[in-house]
C-alpha cells in the first residue's frame, strides 16, 4: 500500500484502492502464504472513504503518501506498545542501537498511560549521569508534549548532534515534574564490564544485549578465570538492562549451562516457533552465581534470569522484572522503511511466559541505603576486664575494630545494598565448602533456589 499515489487531487481513491486490495489478496493467495485471510470488503470500503474525505476536507492539503504512512503507523501502534512503523531516521536509529553506537542521551523507552516511560538509562550515558531513573515518565521533550506519541518518535526527538542540548521534563512518583537539560553525546555502549568485588568474587555487569555481548562476556570471564585467585562466586548484574538481541541472551546463558533448553518462542506462523538449546561450550558451569534484577530488567534480561532460574543455575535476587515477554521482528518494506512487528512470545525452559508478569526473584531485595552506626561507648568485652586470663594460643592483641570505639555518629556509608546482599549469599554458599564436597555445595545452592 505504501507505493499507492494518486496524482488527481480531486478524484476519488475509493475504487482504485479497493481494486489494489483485491489484487494484492489474489496475488498473495497464489503464493500460498500462510494465515492470509480474505479482506473484509466493507471495512476496506469504510477505510478508503475515510481516507478520501480526509484528503478532500482536511483544513490543510495533505499528500497521499503522508496519509497512507500515518495509516500504517496507526495500525501498528494500536496493536501493542512495541510494534511500530519504522522510517528514515527511525530506521537508522534502529540499526544504530543494534550495533551499539549512536548520538543521543542513552535511554531505552516504552509507553505507559499515553506517556513515554523510561525502561532504563544505559550505563555511563548522559541520561544515566543526569540521574534519570527506570520508571520515570518523560512528559515533554524540548517543550514538545509526549502524550500519545510513539516511543520511536520520542527517541528520535532525543537523538541529535553530539554537543547539543535537549531538555526533558520528568514526572517521578512522589515529586513535582522537573526539567533536566542534558547534552547529547556519541553513545558507544560497551555491554559487558567486570571487576573484582573481593578476592575470589567476580562482578559482571551487562548493560544491554547487543550482537557481540556474548563474546564480550566470554572474554571478561576467561580473563577472570585465568587469574591466580580461585573464583568462588559470580554476581551478574542485569538491573536496568532493557534487553536487546535475543541471540545475545541465548549466548550469555550458554556460557553458564552445558545442556538443556534456554528459551523457546511461539507465534502464529511456524517460522516464529523457535527453540534454543545449550551447547557444551561452557566456561563457568560450577561456580556459585547470583543474578541481580529489578523493574528496569526487561526482555533479553528476563530470558537470561528466567533460564538460569529454571535450571537452578543461579539465585535470582532483587525485585520483580519489567515483564516484556514478546519478540519483535523487523520486516523491511523498502529503502529505509520497515515494520517492527511483535511476532511471538518467549517462554522460559519450564514454559513460563514472562509477558506482563516478569521474573519473580528467589530472594526479594529492595534498593536501600546502608548506614554505619556509631559504636556504643558503654560496650566492653572480655579483653577489657581487669585480671582477665590471657588467650590460650598466646594471642593477646586486640583488633583495631575492637579498640577504635570513637566513630562519628554522622559517618554514613552509602553502598549498593542489593549487591552486598548478593555477595553475602555467595559467601554463605562457600562457607559450607570446607565441610562438604563441591557437589554438596551445588546441591545446597539448588535448595536455596527451590
User: For the domain that residue 133 is a member of, what is the CATH number?
Assistant: 2.30.42.10
- pLDDT bin (cut points 50, 70, 90) of residue 409 is very low
Q: How far apart are CA 371 and CA 341, in angstroms?
A: 47
Whether the pLDDT of residue 437 is over 80: the answer is: no
% the chain with pLDDT above 90: 50
In the set 83, 191, 299, 326, the catalytic residue is 299
What total number of domains does the chain contain? 3
310: annotated active-site residue: yes
> Of 62-76, 135-149, 424-438, which range is least confident?
424-438
- pLDDT bin (cut points 50, 70, 90) of residue 119 is confident
297: annotated active-site residue: no
The three-class DSSP label of residue 77 is: helix
Residue 89 included in any domain: no
Pull the grid cell for residue 140.
515533554
Task: Provide the pLDDT for residue 349.
Answer: 98
Residue 407 included in any domain: no
Residue 423 included in any domain: no
Residue 150 in contact with residue 138, Cβ under 8 Å?
no
In the set 128, 136, 237, 310, the catalytic residue is 310
Asked which of 322, 345, 364 is the last residue of a domain, the reply is: 364
Please check whether residues 204 and 112 belong to one and the same domain: no
Please check whether residues 182 and 199 belong to one and the same domain: no
In the set 77, 128, 254, 324, the catalytic residue is 324
Please check whether residues 200 and 342 belong to one and the same domain: yes
* Rounded average pLDDT over 410-428: 76
Residue 307 in contact with residue 315, Cβ under 8 Å?
no
Hey, which residues does 204 pair with through a beta bridge? 194, 236
Element (H, E) at 262: strand 261-267
Residue 43 included in any domain: yes
Please check whether residues 129 and 275 belong to one and the same domain: no
126-178 tens-digit pLDDT: 999 999 998 899 999 998 999 878 887 888 899 888 899 999 999 998 899 99
Asked which of 302, 330, 364 is the last residue of a domain, the reply is: 364
Residue 201 included in any domain: yes
Please check whether residues 115 and 233 belong to one and the same domain: no
Asked which of 312, 340, 364 is the last residue of a domain, the reply is: 364
Whether the pLDDT of residue 29 is over 50: the answer is: no
User: In whole angstroms, how far apart are CA 430 and each of 16, 118, 201, 284, 406?
Assistant: 73, 38, 11, 16, 34
Q: In degrees rounded to 5, what are phi and psi of residue 217?
A: -65, -45
183-202 tens-digit pLDDT: 999 877 778 999 889 899 99
92: annotated active-site residue: no
- pLDDT bin (cut points 50, 70, 90) of residue 102 is low
- pLDDT bin (cut points 50, 70, 90) of residue 64 is very high
Residues 6+ apart with CB under 8 A from 448: 315, 362, 425, 429
Task: Provide the pLDDT for residue 103.
Answer: 77
Other Cβ atoms closer than 10 A to 330 = 14
The mean predicted confidence, pLDDT, of the chain is 81
Which of 163, 155, 207, 208 shows the shortest CA–CA distance to 185? 163
Whether the pLDDT of residue 364 is over 90: the answer is: yes
Range of the domain at 230: 192-364
Please check whether residues 125 and 249 belong to one and the same domain: no
User: In whole angstroms, how far apart are CA 189 and each of 98, 117, 172, 252, 281?
Assistant: 10, 21, 26, 17, 26
Task: Provide the pLDDT for residue 227.
Answer: 77
Please check whether residues 283 and 329 belong to one and the same domain: yes
Residue 416 included in any domain: no
292-302 tens-digit pLDDT: 999 999 999 99
Amino acid at each position: 500500500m505504501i507505493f499507492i499515489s494518486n496524482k488527481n487531487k480531486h478524484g476519488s481513491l475509493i475504487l482504485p484502492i479497493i481494486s489494489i486490495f483485491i489484487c494484492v489478496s489474489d496475488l498473495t493467495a497464489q503464493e500460498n502464504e500462510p494465515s492470509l485471510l480474505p479482506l473484509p470488503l466493507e471495512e476496506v470500503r469504510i477505510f478508503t472513504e475515510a481516507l478520501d474525505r480526509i484528503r478532500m476536507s482536511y483544513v490543510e492539503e495533505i499528500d497521499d503518501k503522508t496519509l497512507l504512512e500515518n495509516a500504517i503507523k496507526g495500525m501498528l501502534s494500536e496493536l501493542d506498545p512495541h510494534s511500530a512503523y519504522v522510517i528514515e531516521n527511525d530506521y537508522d536509529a534502529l540499526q544504530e542501537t543494534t550495533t551499539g553506537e549512536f548520538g543521543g542521551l542513552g535511554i531505552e523507552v516504552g509507553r505507559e498511560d499515553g506517556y513515554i516511560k523510561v525502561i532504563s538509562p544505559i550505563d555511563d550515558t548522559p541520561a544515566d549521569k543526569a540521574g534519570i531513573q527506570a520508571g520515570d515518565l518523560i512528559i515533554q521533550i524540548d517543550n514538545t508534549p509526549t502524550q500519545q506519541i510513539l516511543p520511536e518518535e520520542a527517541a528520535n526527538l532525543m537523538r541529535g548532534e553530539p554537543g547539543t542540548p535537549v531538555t526533558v521534563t520528568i514526572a517521578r512518583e512522589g515529586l513535582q515534574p522537573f526539567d533536566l537539560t542534558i547534552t547529547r553525546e556519541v553513545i558507544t555502549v560497551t555491554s559487558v564490564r567486570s571487576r573484582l568485588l573481593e578476592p575470589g568474587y567476580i562482578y559482571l555487569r551487562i548493560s544491554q544485549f547487543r550482537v557481540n555481548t556474548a563474546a564480550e562476556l566470554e572474554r571478561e570471564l576467561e580473563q577472570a578465570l585465568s587469574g591466580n585467585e580461585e573464583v568462588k562466586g559470580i554476581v551478574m548484574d542485569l538491573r536496568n538492562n532493557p534487553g536487546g538481541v535475543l541471540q545475545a541472551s541465548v549466548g550469555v546463558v550458554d556460557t553458564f549451562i552445558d545442556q538443556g533448553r534456554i528459551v523457546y518462542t511461539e507465534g502464529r506462523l511456524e517460522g516464529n516457533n523457535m527453540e534454543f538449546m545449550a551447547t557444551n561450550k561452557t566456561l563457568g558451569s560450577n561456580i556459585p552465581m547470583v543474578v541481580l534484577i529489578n523493574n528496569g530488567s526487561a526482555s533479553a534480561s528476563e530470558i537470561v534470569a528466567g533460564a538460569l532460574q529454571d535450571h537452578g543455575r543461579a539465585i535470582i535476587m532483587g525485585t520483580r522484572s519489567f515483564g516484556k515477554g514478546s519478540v519483535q521482528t523487523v520486516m523491511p518494506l523498502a529503502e529505509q522503511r520497515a515494520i517492527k512487528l511483535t511476532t511471538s512470545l518467549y517462554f522460559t525452559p519450564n514454559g513460563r511466559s514472562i509477558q506482563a508478569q516478569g521474573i519473580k526473584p528467589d530472594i526479594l531485595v529492595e534498593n536501600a541505603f546502608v548506614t554505619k552506626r556509631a559504636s556504643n561507648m558503654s560496650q566492653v568485652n572480655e579483653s577489657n576486664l581487669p585480671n582477665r586470663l590471657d588467650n590460650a594460643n598466646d594471642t593477646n592483641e586486640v583488633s583495631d575494630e575492637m579498640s577504635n570505639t570513637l566513630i562519628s555518629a554522622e559517618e554514613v556509608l552509602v553502598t549498593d545494598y542489593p549487591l552486598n546482599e548478593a555477595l553475602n549469599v555467595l559467601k554463605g554458599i562457600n562457607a559450607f565448602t570446607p565441610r562438604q564436597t563441591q557437589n554438596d555445595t551445588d546441591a545446597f545452592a539448588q535448595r536455596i533456589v527451590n
